Amino acid sequence: MIPTKNRWLVLSLVAIAASSTSACTIETASSADTSDTSGSAGTSGGAGTSGAGGAGPSGSSGTTGTSGGAGASGSGGSSTGAGALPAGTFLYVRAETADHDQLIARDFATGAERVVTDLRGDGSEGWEIWGHTLSPDRTRIVLASLYGPTKEDNDTHLATRRLWSLATDGTDFRRLTPVFPNDGAGRTNFQISVDAPMFTADGTGILYDFGSWWYEGTSLQGGSFPWRVPAGGGLPEPFPTVLSCTVIEPSVNPATGEVLLIHSVCVNSEDQGIFLYPRAGGTSPTKLVDEGYGAGQVQPSLTPASWLGDGSGFVFVGTINIPADDTTVATSALLVYDMATATMSPLVLAEPDTYIDSVTIAPDATSLVYCLRHDDVTDLHAIDLTKAEPEDRPITTDGKSCYPAF
Protein backbone atom coordinates (compact mmCIF):
# COMPACT_ATOMS: atom_id res chain seq x y z
CA MET A 1 0.00 0.00 0.00
CA ILE A 2 0.96 3.67 -0.25
CA PRO A 3 0.49 5.28 3.16
CA THR A 4 -1.33 8.61 2.88
CA LYS A 5 1.54 10.46 4.50
CA ASN A 6 3.94 9.03 1.89
CA ARG A 7 1.98 9.70 -1.32
CA TRP A 8 4.16 12.70 -2.07
CA LEU A 9 7.09 10.29 -2.29
CA VAL A 10 5.54 8.71 -5.37
CA LEU A 11 5.53 12.08 -7.08
CA SER A 12 9.20 12.56 -6.26
CA LEU A 13 10.00 9.79 -8.74
CA VAL A 14 8.77 11.97 -11.57
CA ALA A 15 10.88 14.84 -10.28
CA ILE A 16 13.95 12.60 -10.12
CA ALA A 17 13.34 11.39 -13.66
CA ALA A 18 13.30 15.01 -14.80
CA SER A 19 16.72 15.46 -13.15
CA SER A 20 15.40 17.86 -10.57
CA THR A 21 16.29 17.56 -6.89
CA SER A 22 13.46 16.50 -4.61
CA ALA A 23 12.48 19.23 -2.16
CA CYS A 24 11.26 16.74 0.40
CA THR A 25 13.14 15.72 3.51
CA ILE A 26 14.77 12.36 2.86
CA GLU A 27 16.72 10.10 5.19
CA THR A 28 20.36 9.68 4.30
CA ALA A 29 21.13 6.16 3.16
CA SER A 30 24.90 6.37 3.12
CA SER A 31 27.66 8.91 3.42
CA ALA A 32 29.60 7.23 0.64
CA ASP A 33 30.79 9.25 -2.34
CA THR A 34 28.77 8.42 -5.45
CA SER A 35 31.53 9.20 -7.92
CA ASP A 36 32.63 6.59 -10.45
CA THR A 37 35.59 4.87 -8.82
CA SER A 38 37.07 2.46 -11.28
CA GLY A 39 39.69 0.78 -9.15
CA SER A 40 41.96 -1.90 -10.45
CA ALA A 41 40.65 -4.89 -12.32
CA GLY A 42 40.10 -7.99 -10.25
CA THR A 43 39.23 -11.58 -11.03
CA SER A 44 35.96 -13.02 -9.86
CA GLY A 45 35.26 -16.69 -9.57
CA GLY A 46 32.21 -18.78 -10.28
CA ALA A 47 29.90 -19.40 -7.41
CA GLY A 48 26.29 -19.63 -6.27
CA THR A 49 23.39 -17.25 -6.63
CA SER A 50 19.85 -16.30 -5.80
CA GLY A 51 16.78 -17.13 -7.83
CA ALA A 52 14.87 -14.90 -10.15
CA GLY A 53 14.14 -12.15 -7.75
CA GLY A 54 14.18 -14.52 -4.79
CA ALA A 55 16.82 -15.12 -2.19
CA GLY A 56 19.20 -17.93 -2.93
CA PRO A 57 21.50 -19.88 -0.66
CA SER A 58 23.79 -17.89 1.54
CA GLY A 59 27.21 -19.03 2.61
CA SER A 60 30.84 -18.11 2.63
CA SER A 61 32.57 -17.03 -0.54
CA GLY A 62 33.50 -19.98 -2.69
CA THR A 63 36.47 -20.84 -4.78
CA THR A 64 36.92 -19.51 -8.28
CA GLY A 65 34.92 -21.51 -10.79
CA THR A 66 35.57 -22.44 -14.36
CA SER A 67 33.64 -21.01 -17.27
CA GLY A 68 33.19 -24.27 -19.13
CA GLY A 69 33.81 -25.26 -22.69
CA ALA A 70 32.32 -23.80 -25.79
CA GLY A 71 29.26 -26.04 -25.56
CA ALA A 72 26.40 -26.55 -27.94
CA SER A 73 24.58 -23.67 -29.54
CA GLY A 74 21.15 -25.04 -28.76
CA SER A 75 17.96 -24.84 -30.78
CA GLY A 76 16.97 -21.68 -32.54
CA GLY A 77 16.08 -20.98 -36.12
CA SER A 78 16.14 -17.92 -38.26
CA SER A 79 15.22 -14.49 -36.96
CA THR A 80 11.55 -13.63 -37.37
CA GLY A 81 11.83 -9.86 -37.18
CA ALA A 82 9.31 -9.77 -34.33
CA GLY A 83 10.12 -6.13 -33.64
CA ALA A 84 10.50 -4.12 -30.49
CA LEU A 85 8.31 -4.54 -27.43
CA PRO A 86 6.28 -1.31 -27.00
CA ALA A 87 7.58 1.10 -24.36
CA GLY A 88 4.44 0.73 -22.24
CA THR A 89 4.66 -3.07 -22.13
CA PHE A 90 6.41 -5.02 -19.39
CA LEU A 91 7.30 -8.67 -18.93
CA TYR A 92 6.53 -10.87 -15.93
CA VAL A 93 6.62 -14.54 -14.91
CA ARG A 94 3.50 -16.59 -14.25
CA ALA A 95 4.07 -19.88 -12.42
CA GLU A 96 1.70 -22.39 -13.99
CA THR A 97 3.01 -25.18 -11.75
CA ALA A 98 5.84 -25.52 -9.24
CA ASP A 99 8.34 -26.21 -12.04
CA HIS A 100 6.71 -24.64 -15.10
CA ASP A 101 6.69 -20.89 -15.76
CA GLN A 102 5.32 -18.77 -18.57
CA LEU A 103 6.78 -15.44 -19.65
CA ILE A 104 3.99 -12.90 -20.14
CA ALA A 105 3.98 -9.52 -21.93
CA ARG A 106 1.41 -7.06 -20.53
CA ASP A 107 0.43 -3.58 -21.68
CA PHE A 108 0.43 -1.33 -18.61
CA ALA A 109 -2.32 0.99 -19.82
CA THR A 110 -4.85 -1.52 -21.20
CA GLY A 111 -4.00 -4.68 -19.27
CA ALA A 112 -3.91 -6.67 -22.52
CA GLU A 113 -1.41 -9.49 -22.30
CA ARG A 114 -0.03 -12.46 -24.21
CA VAL A 115 2.19 -15.45 -23.53
CA VAL A 116 5.66 -14.81 -24.96
CA THR A 117 6.83 -18.37 -24.29
CA ASP A 118 5.73 -21.37 -22.26
CA LEU A 119 9.15 -23.02 -22.71
CA ARG A 120 7.67 -26.11 -24.31
CA GLY A 121 9.42 -25.63 -27.63
CA ASP A 122 11.96 -28.32 -26.72
CA GLY A 123 9.24 -30.96 -26.42
CA SER A 124 9.12 -30.79 -22.64
CA GLU A 125 6.29 -29.92 -20.27
CA GLY A 126 7.93 -26.57 -19.58
CA TRP A 127 10.58 -25.21 -17.20
CA GLU A 128 11.15 -22.59 -14.52
CA ILE A 129 12.49 -19.11 -15.36
CA TRP A 130 15.20 -17.76 -13.04
CA GLY A 131 15.49 -14.21 -14.30
CA HIS A 132 14.76 -12.38 -17.56
CA THR A 133 15.92 -9.16 -19.18
CA LEU A 134 14.98 -7.05 -22.21
CA SER A 135 17.58 -5.58 -24.57
CA PRO A 136 18.02 -1.77 -24.64
CA ASP A 137 16.34 -1.64 -28.08
CA ARG A 138 13.56 -3.91 -26.71
CA THR A 139 13.93 -6.44 -29.55
CA ARG A 140 15.47 -9.40 -27.68
CA ILE A 141 14.75 -11.16 -24.40
CA VAL A 142 17.29 -13.19 -22.43
CA LEU A 143 16.17 -15.63 -19.75
CA ALA A 144 17.75 -18.24 -17.50
CA SER A 145 16.18 -21.69 -17.60
CA LEU A 146 16.79 -25.43 -17.84
CA TYR A 147 15.11 -25.24 -21.25
CA GLY A 148 16.69 -27.17 -24.12
CA PRO A 149 19.08 -29.61 -22.42
CA THR A 150 21.50 -31.41 -24.72
CA LYS A 151 23.19 -34.79 -24.23
CA GLU A 152 26.32 -32.90 -23.19
CA ASP A 153 24.32 -31.06 -20.51
CA ASN A 154 22.80 -34.28 -19.20
CA ASP A 155 26.18 -36.03 -19.17
CA THR A 156 27.40 -33.58 -16.49
CA HIS A 157 24.80 -35.06 -14.11
CA LEU A 158 24.00 -31.53 -12.94
CA ALA A 159 20.82 -29.57 -13.59
CA THR A 160 22.49 -26.31 -14.60
CA ARG A 161 20.43 -23.50 -16.07
CA ARG A 162 21.38 -21.92 -19.38
CA LEU A 163 20.93 -18.44 -20.82
CA TRP A 164 18.71 -18.22 -23.88
CA SER A 165 18.04 -15.28 -26.17
CA LEU A 166 14.72 -15.06 -28.00
CA ALA A 167 12.65 -12.65 -30.06
CA THR A 168 9.83 -10.71 -28.41
CA ASP A 169 7.23 -13.00 -30.01
CA GLY A 170 8.79 -16.07 -28.39
CA THR A 171 10.56 -17.38 -31.50
CA ASP A 172 14.21 -17.62 -32.55
CA PHE A 173 15.67 -19.24 -29.43
CA ARG A 174 19.48 -18.93 -29.33
CA ARG A 175 21.61 -20.47 -26.62
CA LEU A 176 24.18 -18.09 -25.13
CA THR A 177 26.04 -20.08 -22.47
CA PRO A 178 28.07 -23.27 -22.88
CA VAL A 179 27.91 -26.62 -21.14
CA PHE A 180 29.38 -26.05 -17.68
CA PRO A 181 31.55 -28.98 -16.57
CA ASN A 182 30.86 -30.73 -13.28
CA ASP A 183 33.83 -29.67 -11.16
CA GLY A 184 32.27 -30.63 -7.84
CA ALA A 185 35.00 -33.19 -7.14
CA GLY A 186 32.71 -35.32 -4.99
CA ARG A 187 31.34 -32.48 -2.87
CA THR A 188 28.01 -33.20 -1.21
CA ASN A 189 24.95 -31.86 -3.06
CA PHE A 190 27.14 -29.86 -5.41
CA GLN A 191 25.31 -27.58 -7.82
CA ILE A 192 26.12 -24.87 -10.34
CA SER A 193 23.71 -21.97 -10.51
CA VAL A 194 23.14 -19.58 -13.41
CA ASP A 195 20.51 -16.83 -13.19
CA ALA A 196 19.63 -13.11 -12.94
CA PRO A 197 20.64 -12.09 -16.51
CA MET A 198 20.90 -8.37 -17.29
CA PHE A 199 21.77 -6.66 -20.59
CA THR A 200 24.66 -4.22 -20.59
CA ALA A 201 23.74 -0.62 -21.46
CA ASP A 202 24.99 -0.94 -25.04
CA GLY A 203 23.24 -4.27 -25.55
CA THR A 204 26.42 -6.13 -26.53
CA GLY A 205 26.68 -8.32 -23.45
CA ILE A 206 24.75 -10.09 -20.73
CA LEU A 207 25.76 -9.94 -17.07
CA TYR A 208 24.51 -12.78 -14.90
CA ASP A 209 25.01 -14.52 -11.57
CA PHE A 210 27.21 -17.60 -11.77
CA GLY A 211 28.00 -19.79 -8.82
CA SER A 212 28.52 -23.10 -7.13
CA TRP A 213 27.20 -24.44 -3.84
CA TRP A 214 27.76 -27.56 -1.76
CA TYR A 215 27.54 -28.87 1.79
CA GLU A 216 30.33 -29.65 4.21
CA GLY A 217 28.55 -31.53 6.94
CA THR A 218 25.49 -29.40 7.67
CA SER A 219 27.17 -26.17 6.56
CA LEU A 220 26.32 -24.66 3.18
CA GLN A 221 29.42 -23.54 1.30
CA GLY A 222 29.96 -21.58 -1.87
CA GLY A 223 29.50 -18.10 -3.21
CA SER A 224 28.48 -16.10 -6.26
CA PHE A 225 29.97 -13.52 -8.60
CA PRO A 226 28.80 -11.86 -11.82
CA TRP A 227 29.98 -13.11 -15.18
CA ARG A 228 29.54 -11.69 -18.67
CA VAL A 229 28.74 -13.38 -21.97
CA PRO A 230 28.37 -11.74 -25.42
CA ALA A 231 24.75 -11.07 -26.38
CA GLY A 232 25.26 -13.30 -29.41
CA GLY A 233 26.67 -16.15 -27.31
CA GLY A 234 30.22 -17.29 -26.72
CA LEU A 235 32.70 -17.96 -23.96
CA PRO A 236 31.72 -16.32 -20.66
CA GLU A 237 34.25 -14.35 -18.62
CA PRO A 238 34.26 -12.98 -15.06
CA PHE A 239 33.06 -9.45 -14.42
CA PRO A 240 35.69 -8.07 -12.02
CA THR A 241 34.45 -7.40 -8.49
CA VAL A 242 35.67 -7.67 -4.92
CA LEU A 243 36.25 -11.24 -3.81
CA SER A 244 35.44 -10.90 -0.11
CA CYS A 245 31.65 -11.11 -0.57
CA THR A 246 29.03 -12.94 -2.55
CA VAL A 247 28.25 -10.40 -5.29
CA ILE A 248 24.89 -10.80 -7.02
CA GLU A 249 21.85 -9.32 -8.79
CA PRO A 250 23.30 -6.99 -11.46
CA SER A 251 21.31 -3.92 -12.50
CA VAL A 252 22.72 -1.64 -15.20
CA ASN A 253 22.43 2.16 -15.29
CA PRO A 254 21.09 2.73 -18.84
CA ALA A 255 22.66 6.20 -19.05
CA THR A 256 26.21 5.44 -17.89
CA GLY A 257 26.60 1.67 -18.17
CA GLU A 258 27.63 1.43 -14.50
CA VAL A 259 26.51 -1.71 -12.72
CA LEU A 260 24.70 -1.93 -9.41
CA LEU A 261 25.46 -5.11 -7.44
CA ILE A 262 24.49 -6.42 -4.03
CA HIS A 263 27.24 -7.51 -1.62
CA SER A 264 26.03 -10.26 0.70
CA VAL A 265 27.71 -12.68 3.14
CA CYS A 266 30.95 -10.71 3.28
CA VAL A 267 34.06 -11.53 5.27
CA ASN A 268 33.58 -8.09 6.85
CA SER A 269 29.92 -7.25 7.50
CA GLU A 270 30.67 -3.56 6.86
CA ASP A 271 31.17 -4.44 3.19
CA GLN A 272 27.54 -5.56 2.77
CA GLY A 273 24.99 -3.44 0.92
CA ILE A 274 24.37 -2.05 -2.57
CA PHE A 275 27.45 -0.99 -4.54
CA LEU A 276 27.99 0.81 -7.83
CA TYR A 277 30.69 -0.57 -10.15
CA PRO A 278 32.22 0.99 -13.27
CA ARG A 279 30.86 -0.50 -16.51
CA ALA A 280 33.99 -2.67 -16.85
CA GLY A 281 33.98 -3.74 -13.21
CA GLY A 282 36.74 -3.22 -10.65
CA THR A 283 37.75 -3.80 -7.07
CA SER A 284 36.94 -0.36 -5.60
CA PRO A 285 33.17 0.08 -6.02
CA THR A 286 31.19 2.91 -4.45
CA LYS A 287 28.82 1.98 -1.63
CA LEU A 288 25.41 3.58 -2.17
CA VAL A 289 23.28 1.76 0.40
CA ASP A 290 24.73 0.36 3.60
CA GLU A 291 23.18 -2.77 5.08
CA GLY A 292 22.09 -2.09 8.63
CA TYR A 293 19.54 -3.01 11.26
CA GLY A 294 17.42 -0.73 13.43
CA ALA A 295 15.89 2.71 13.05
CA GLY A 296 17.01 4.58 9.93
CA GLN A 297 18.72 1.51 8.46
CA VAL A 298 17.83 -0.75 5.54
CA GLN A 299 18.49 -4.39 4.72
CA PRO A 300 18.50 -4.66 0.90
CA SER A 301 16.65 -7.67 -0.46
CA LEU A 302 18.43 -10.04 -2.82
CA THR A 303 16.59 -8.89 -5.92
CA PRO A 304 17.67 -6.54 -8.73
CA ALA A 305 17.09 -2.81 -8.55
CA SER A 306 15.35 -1.00 -11.43
CA TRP A 307 16.82 2.20 -12.91
CA LEU A 308 15.14 5.29 -14.30
CA GLY A 309 15.96 5.76 -17.97
CA ASP A 310 18.17 8.81 -17.42
CA GLY A 311 20.18 7.13 -14.67
CA SER A 312 19.15 9.72 -12.08
CA GLY A 313 17.84 7.16 -9.61
CA PHE A 314 16.64 3.63 -9.03
CA VAL A 315 14.02 1.76 -7.05
CA PHE A 316 14.84 -1.28 -4.94
CA VAL A 317 13.37 -3.59 -2.30
CA GLY A 318 14.51 -3.70 1.31
CA THR A 319 13.42 -4.07 4.91
CA ILE A 320 13.19 -0.98 7.11
CA ASN A 321 12.05 -0.37 10.69
CA ILE A 322 9.01 1.87 11.15
CA PRO A 323 7.55 3.21 14.41
CA ALA A 324 4.76 1.16 15.99
CA ASP A 325 3.48 2.25 19.41
CA ASP A 326 6.53 2.29 21.68
CA THR A 327 8.72 0.17 19.42
CA THR A 328 9.61 -0.34 15.77
CA VAL A 329 8.49 -3.04 13.35
CA ALA A 330 10.58 -4.51 10.53
CA THR A 331 8.62 -3.82 7.35
CA SER A 332 9.16 -4.83 3.74
CA ALA A 333 9.42 -1.67 1.67
CA LEU A 334 9.91 -0.33 -1.81
CA LEU A 335 12.49 2.46 -1.79
CA VAL A 336 13.77 5.04 -4.26
CA TYR A 337 17.41 6.20 -4.36
CA ASP A 338 18.27 9.66 -5.72
CA MET A 339 21.74 9.70 -7.31
CA ALA A 340 22.00 13.51 -7.17
CA THR A 341 21.54 13.73 -3.41
CA ALA A 342 22.79 10.25 -2.44
CA THR A 343 19.64 9.73 -0.39
CA MET A 344 16.77 7.26 -0.31
CA SER A 345 13.07 7.42 0.53
CA PRO A 346 10.40 4.81 1.34
CA LEU A 347 7.90 4.62 -1.49
CA VAL A 348 5.61 1.69 -0.63
CA LEU A 349 5.26 -0.10 2.73
CA ALA A 350 3.91 -3.64 2.77
CA GLU A 351 1.14 -4.67 5.14
CA PRO A 352 2.09 -6.98 8.05
CA ASP A 353 2.90 -10.54 6.94
CA THR A 354 3.31 -9.48 3.31
CA TYR A 355 6.56 -8.84 1.47
CA ILE A 356 7.59 -6.93 -1.61
CA ASP A 357 9.41 -9.44 -3.79
CA SER A 358 10.57 -7.53 -6.89
CA VAL A 359 10.01 -4.24 -8.71
CA THR A 360 10.34 -2.51 -12.07
CA ILE A 361 9.89 1.11 -13.11
CA ALA A 362 9.26 2.33 -16.65
CA PRO A 363 12.33 4.13 -18.04
CA ASP A 364 10.30 7.36 -18.35
CA ALA A 365 9.02 7.02 -14.76
CA THR A 366 5.39 7.01 -15.86
CA SER A 367 4.55 3.68 -14.24
CA LEU A 368 5.79 1.22 -11.65
CA VAL A 369 4.97 -2.46 -11.10
CA TYR A 370 5.94 -4.60 -8.13
CA CYS A 371 5.29 -8.12 -6.85
CA LEU A 372 3.69 -8.60 -3.44
CA ARG A 373 4.17 -11.95 -1.67
CA HIS A 374 2.15 -13.55 1.12
CA ASP A 375 3.41 -17.03 1.98
CA ASP A 376 3.57 -18.71 -1.47
CA VAL A 377 1.00 -16.41 -3.08
CA THR A 378 2.30 -13.65 -5.35
CA ASP A 379 0.50 -10.96 -7.32
CA LEU A 380 1.44 -7.82 -9.21
CA HIS A 381 0.58 -4.29 -8.07
CA ALA A 382 0.80 -1.17 -10.23
CA ILE A 383 1.18 2.56 -9.67
CA ASP A 384 0.38 4.99 -12.48
CA LEU A 385 2.80 7.86 -11.80
CA THR A 386 1.13 10.18 -14.31
CA LYS A 387 -1.93 10.67 -12.10
CA ALA A 388 -2.25 13.62 -9.74
CA GLU A 389 -3.09 11.17 -6.95
CA PRO A 390 -1.23 7.93 -7.77
CA GLU A 391 -2.92 4.83 -6.38
CA ASP A 392 -1.55 1.41 -5.61
CA ARG A 393 -3.78 -1.20 -7.27
CA PRO A 394 -3.50 -4.97 -7.78
CA ILE A 395 -3.38 -5.98 -11.44
CA THR A 396 -3.26 -9.77 -11.05
CA THR A 397 -5.26 -11.96 -8.69
CA ASP A 398 -4.11 -15.43 -9.72
CA GLY A 399 -1.64 -15.77 -6.82
CA LYS A 400 1.19 -16.89 -9.12
CA SER A 401 2.45 -13.79 -10.93
CA CYS A 402 5.76 -12.11 -10.09
CA TYR A 403 9.13 -10.72 -11.35
CA PRO A 404 8.01 -7.78 -13.53
CA ALA A 405 10.50 -5.99 -15.82
CA PHE A 406 10.04 -3.13 -18.29
Tens-digit pLDDT string for the chain (406 aa): 444 333 434 444 544 444 322 323 223 333 333 333 333 333 333 333 333 333 333 344 444 444 444 444 333 334 455 799 999 999 999 999 999 999 999 999 999 999 999 999 999 999 999 999 999 999 999 999 999 999 999 999 999 999 999 999 999 999 999 999 999 998 999 999 999 999 999 999 999 999 999 999 999 899 999 999 999 999 999 999 999 999 999 999 999 999 999 999 999 988 999 999 999 999 999 999 999 887 778 999 999 999 999 999 999 999 999 887 788 889 999 999 999 999 999 999 999 999 999 999 999 999 999 999 999 899 999 999 999 999 999 999 999 999 999 9
247-297: pLDDT as tens digits: 999 999 999 999 999 999 999 988 999 999 999 999 999 999 999 887 778
CA-to-CA distance for 140 and 231, rounded, in angstroms? 10
CA-to-CA distance for 185 and 114, rounded, in angstroms? 44
271-275 — which CB contacts under 8 Å span 24+ positions? Answer: 271/242, 271/244, 271/245, 272/245, 273/30, 273/300, 274/300, 274/305, 274/316
CA-to-CA distance for 290 and 312, rounded, in angstroms? 19
Among 132, 137, 86, 84, CA closest to 112:
86
Could you tell me which CATH class the domain 42-77+84-288 is placed in? mainly beta
Count Cα atoms within 13 angstroms, Cβ side, for 258. 26
* pTM (predicted TM-score): 0.83
Among 32, 37, 59, CA closest to 48:
59
> How would you write the chain as a 3-class SS string?
CCCHHHHHHHHHHHHHHCCCCCCCCCCECCCCCCCCCCCCCCCCCCCCCCCCCCCCCCCECCCCCCCCCCCCCCCCCCCCCCCCCCCCEEEEEEEEECCEEEEEEEECCCCCEEEEECCCCCCCCCCCCCCEEECCCCCEEEEEECCCCCHHHHHCCCCCCEEEEEECCCCCCEECCCCCCCCCCCCEEEEEEEEEEEECCCCCEEEEEEEEEEEECCEEEEEEEEEEEECCCCCCEECCCCCCCEEEEEEECCCCCCEEEEEECCCCHHHCEEEEECCCCCCCCEEEEEECCCCCCEEECCCCCEECCCCCEEEEEEEEEEEECCEEEEEEEEEEEECCCCEEEEEEECCCCCEEEEEEECCCCCEEEEEEEECCEEEEEEEECCCCCCCEEECCCCCEEEEEEC
Going from N- to C-terminal start, the domains of the chain cover 1-31+292-406, 42-77+84-288
CA distances from 303 to 50, 196, 231 (A): 8, 9, 22
Residues 6+ positions from 218 with CB-CB distance below 8 Å: none
Among 289, 343, 268, 257, CA closest to 36:
257
Asked if residues 354 and 372 have their Cβ atoms less than 8 Å apart, the reply is yes
